[in-house]
Amino acid sequence: MPEPTPANTLDRMRRQVRAVRWRRNLHELQRALYHLIATLAGGAATLVVLALRTAPGPFAAATWAVAAATLLLAGWLARALVRRWLSPARAPLWIDRRTGLEGRLATALELGHQGAVRAPFFPLLVEDNARRLPTWRPERLLPDGLPSGAFAGALAAVGVFLLVLLLAPWLRPGAAPVTSSEVTGDEPVRGHIVIARRARRQAGESVLAPFAEPVEDDERSALSRLPDALQERIQARLWGEDREPARRAMELAERGGAPGPGGGSPPADRLVDTSEAEERWAVVRKAPRGARPAPGAAAAASPGETPTDGGATPAAAGERGAERGGEAGAHQAAAGAGTGSDPNLFGAASAARAARERFDLPLAARVRAQSGAPEAPSPGEAPAPAPDSHPDLGERQRRDAPVPRMRVPPIYEAAVRAVFAHRASEEAP
């Protein structure tokens, strides 16, 4: 049997190093994969729970947060994998460190590669390495088996994800307690919200469409619509056709109060006002010269919806309903319509309204006093739109801030209405 030469021993060492390297890299790859699965499953479970439990607004924020966290984790995993990955140059050093070979292996391989085999101490070094070859066999250095910690983590995360999918039907929030058809005297406020929203939607489509510029949806980028689409898709997949009431409840919750028996709703006026001011302002500013609101705009509220102000006439109640609905209410008419509006534009002063202790006059309305007005417009013509020296700034302000309102004590309500109401038969004050 021929005696092993340094060259043969070096070849054996190189083969064994290669085997160790592949084994180790495979192990690391497995570990990274399990970590990645755990990360993705965890992120997906979080997203599903959020999609089922939160309103679109918070869900969008949470989606980006979860996506960012998942990306960060994935990046960290990739970095860790690169750091732990054994390149051909690093492998001997790693084995040396791992097995306490004190640099014998790396020195022998590097010097062998450089052709330093004629150095006096080189044969001794190679022989020393040959003696120690069994101590770092691949199967001894890296025993078979999964990276157990990472595998358990991945398994747990996937389990949580499946559990979330399984529990999805029970994760539906309580539906909105009142719909338009369910409005009763016991729940005037919530019923009113639904009525107002529906009225606003319908009136907005029919009356304000020509005036209002296309907002939100068209301006939103595909990326910003992504969370909505994702939530819609998740809900559609998990809840099917039953998702609409739950979505409505989420929207309600997002607008200020948690649905459900225990959750208190905010006052209806507040809910409506905050969202409508912008639209009103847009209408007032954008109305073309001479444009009038369509007649019966106020009556655009759904027929058959129950008015809640006890003392008001049905017409006035309808007007107020539309006002709360926001699109075709009295404020718009007063601001831009000039003459020809209903004298009871704001509705009669009532005890019910006074009891709410507020009466907001939208300053967006370009009002004209009874006396001292610079120029009275001809009857039937809409007043000229207010000069806007900074249209861009104004546009942004309109979008960003609700229309400021002036708080008028209820005691002056009748007087204010009288001053600002337009009369059909005579010239505007």
Stretch that binds other proteins, among 15-23, 122-130, 202-210, 255-263 (CB under 8 A): 122-130
Q: What gap in Å lies between CA 139 and CA 20, rounded to an integer? A: 8
Size of the site for other proteins (CB under 8 A): 19
- Using CB under 8 A as the binding rule, whether residue 119 contacts other proteins is answered as yes
Q: Does 187 bind other proteins (CB under 8 A)?
A: no
Q: Any contact of residue 143 with other proteins (CB under 8 A)?
A: no
User: Which residue among 77, 125, 330, 337 contacts other proteins (CB under 8 A)?
Assistant: 125
Contact segment (CB under 8 A) with other proteins among 50-58, 103-111, 203-211, 290-298 equals 103-111
* The binder of other proteins chosen from 56, 57, 58, 123 (CB under 8 A): 123
Name which of 57 and 123 has its Cβ closer to other proteins. Answer: 123
Residue 93 lies near other proteins (rule: CB under 8 A): yes
91 versus 297: smaller Cβ distance to other proteins? 91
Q: What is the 3-state secondary structure (H, E, C) of 256-290?
A: CCCCCCCCCCCCHHHHHHHHHHHHHHHHHHHCCCC
Question: Out of 55, 80, 81, 111, which residue is the one contacting other proteins (CB under 8 A)?
Answer: 111
- How many angstroms separate the CA atoms of 396 and 158, rounded? 46
Out of 106, 168, 203, 297, point to the residue binding other proteins (CB under 8 A).
106
14 counts as binding other proteins under rule CB under 8 A: no
- Which residues, other chains included, contact 168 with Cβ-Cβ below 8 Å and sequence gap of 6+? 48, 52, 238, 239
Q: Could you say whether residue 9 binds other proteins (CB under 8 A)?
A: no
Q: Using the rule CB under 8 A, is 5 a contact of other proteins?
A: no
Helix (H, G, I), strand (E, B) or coil at 296: coil
Beta bridge partners of 405: 362
The answer to whether residues 125 and 108 touch, using CB atoms and an 8 Å cutoff, is yes
The Cα–Cα gap between 163 and 157 comes to 10
- Give the CA dihedral 346, 350, 355, 359, nearest 10 degrees: 20
For residue 429, give the nearest of 79, 421, 228 by alpha carbon: 421
What are residue 405's phi and psi, to 5 degrees?
A: -125, 150
| Closer to other proteins by Cβ: residue 43 or 92 | 92
Q: Note whether 47 and 63 are within 8 A (CB).
A: yes
**Residue 5 or 224 having the CB closest to other proteins:** 5
Shortest Cβ 14–other proteins spacing (Å): 15
> Does residue 115 touch other proteins according to CB under 8 A?
no
Residues counted in the chain: 429
To the nearest whole angstrom, how small is the minimum distance from the Cβ of residue 107 to other proteins? 4
102, 205, 242, 427: which one contacts other proteins (CB under 8 A)? Answer: 102
Of the candidates 4, 103, 343, 409, which one interacts with other proteins according to CB under 8 A? 103
**Contact between 127 and other proteins (CB under 8 A)?**
yes
How far is the C-alpha of 328 from the C-alpha of 298, rounded, in Å? 5
Residue 85 engages other proteins in binding (rule: CB under 8 A): no
The Cβ-side half-sphere exposure at 224, using a 13 Å CA radius, reads 7
Q: Are 25 and 86 spatial neighbours (Cβ–Cβ below 8 Å)?
A: yes
Q: Is 81 in the site for other proteins (CB under 8 A)?
A: no
Cβ atoms of 39 and 46 within 8 Å: the answer is no
Residues that bind other proteins (CB under 8 A): 93, 102-104, 106-107, 110-111, 114, 116, 119-125, 127-128
